Amino acid sequence: MIDVMLWMVLSLLILVGFLLLSLRRVLIRWFVGLLIILSGCLVVSNLSRGIPNIIIPTIRDEGFFETFLIEWREEFSGCHLIIVEDRKKAILNNALKHYSKCHNYSYEIWDWNSIDKKLGKNKWIIPRKSSAIRSFGYLMAYHNNAKFILTLDDDTKPSDKGHVASHYNNLFNCKTNTDERFYNTLKSMPSRGTMEDSRQVIAISHGGWINVPDLCAEVQLKEESPKIEKKDFNEGLIPFGAYFGMCGMNLAFKTSMVPYMYFGLQGHILDGKELVELPINRCDDIWAGYYAKKICDGIGYRCHTGKPYVVHNRASNVWSNLKMEENANSMGSEWLSYVNDDVSESSLVEGNSYWGKLLNAYDVWEDLCEDNKP
């Protein structure tokens, strides 16, 4: 619908253009500039539709990010990248312009300023100084009508070839679809007599990470530089009724899940023109996972965990994490109790204004998803 409207506007502008030929040069330049902008919007919109949209939040410098793009060059080919820079002004356009041409992918870049312009009065629901800023990328991929959405951390590289395709197969061609009333005696395929439930829909593909593990600060301090291998991960469908620690480092999901995959308010948010620190950080993916799993269970969708894997090469500072996770256990328990229907909304928000703001943000997020339907 948006494409049709754009073509109509372009046609009208072309007609008006002929009328402007007799006017002053400045008007003609204005017309040409507007025509180019609208044409660019249409091209970006068309390029990103029906293909994987890959969301990458980042605060890295150009050199670091170039290394990331090189590591992922084969996987990104044919995809559309949505880069969300967690700073006022984007600095990565030159690197992306170069490598996207070399390796055949399209991209778009967003920063604080462009997010603010796009969302207007609703800009406060997209956090700053937090990986939760990636939520904005989900919204843009939803608008793009992506084939599916993959989000990656910028300190990872693929463990094996076919990473994006593996997530696709988990979501659309998953073979782990045995009816849970049966215990399958074989690992690789259903044995004779084992019923398969072909109606199952896989909504989330939760990929694993090897080398540096994704651990909370307290566990990092207890363990002496642990290394994680593929064999350390459970693999398969997560049972109905069971929650899990969803990590946003290597995560894919169907585009229809975007209204339920909001990564919430973490780190800092805008209050007018000022950044205000929130009482919680580093729990954005975990809390979103609780909510999304509850939704999936309610409508009969499944979540797959395990392959494909990324190699995680950088560990964040443990002392910084410890400070940010100060309220993680207590507030995480409160959020899970609410998601699990153990406490009411009024009980949750009583005594802590943060919860009221978060629930309000969820309402705004759902409205934005409705406004950005493809």
Domain that includes residue 333, residue range: 51-177+195-371
Name the nearest CA neighbour of 220 among 328, 333, 331, 317.
317
215 and 359 belong to one structural domain: yes
Residue 209 included in any domain? yes
Helix (H, G, I), strand (E, B) or coil at 307: strand
Q: What is the DSSP string of 119-180?
A: HGGGGGGS-BSSGGGGHHHHHHHHHHT-S-EEEE-TTEEESSS-HHHHHHHHHHS----B-T
What are 28's two structure tokens? 């003609």
Residue 1 included in any domain? yes
Residue 12 included in any domain? yes
What are 256's two structure tokens? 């229809």
Whichever domain contains 335, its CATH number is 3.90.550.10
73 and 132 belong to one structural domain: yes
Global pTM? 0.84
55 and 44 belong to one structural domain: no
Please check whether residue 345 is in contact with residue 359, taking contact to mean a CB–CB distance below 8 angstroms. yes
Q: Could you list the pLDDT tens digit for every one of the 374 residues in the chain?
A: 555 555 565 566 566 555 555 555 545 555 444 444 444 444 455 678 899 999 999 999 999 999 999 999 999 999 999 999 999 999 999 999 999 999 999 999 999 999 999 999 999 999 999 999 999 999 999 999 999 999 999 999 999 999 999 999 999 997 655 566 677 787 767 778 777 665 679 999 999 999 988 778 777 777 766 789 999 999 999 999 999 999 999 999 999 999 999 999 999 999 988 999 999 999 999 999 999 999 999 999 999 999 999 999 876 777 887 777 788 989 999 999 999 999 999 999 998 999 999 999 999 999 999 999 88
Q: Count how many domains the chain has.
A: 2
Residues in CB range of 58: below 8 A, 6 or more apart: 65, 83, 84, 85, 86, 92, 154
Domain boundary among the residues 48, 63, 80 is at: 48
36 and 130 belong to one structural domain: no
CA dihedral sign of residues 172, 177, 179, 180: negative
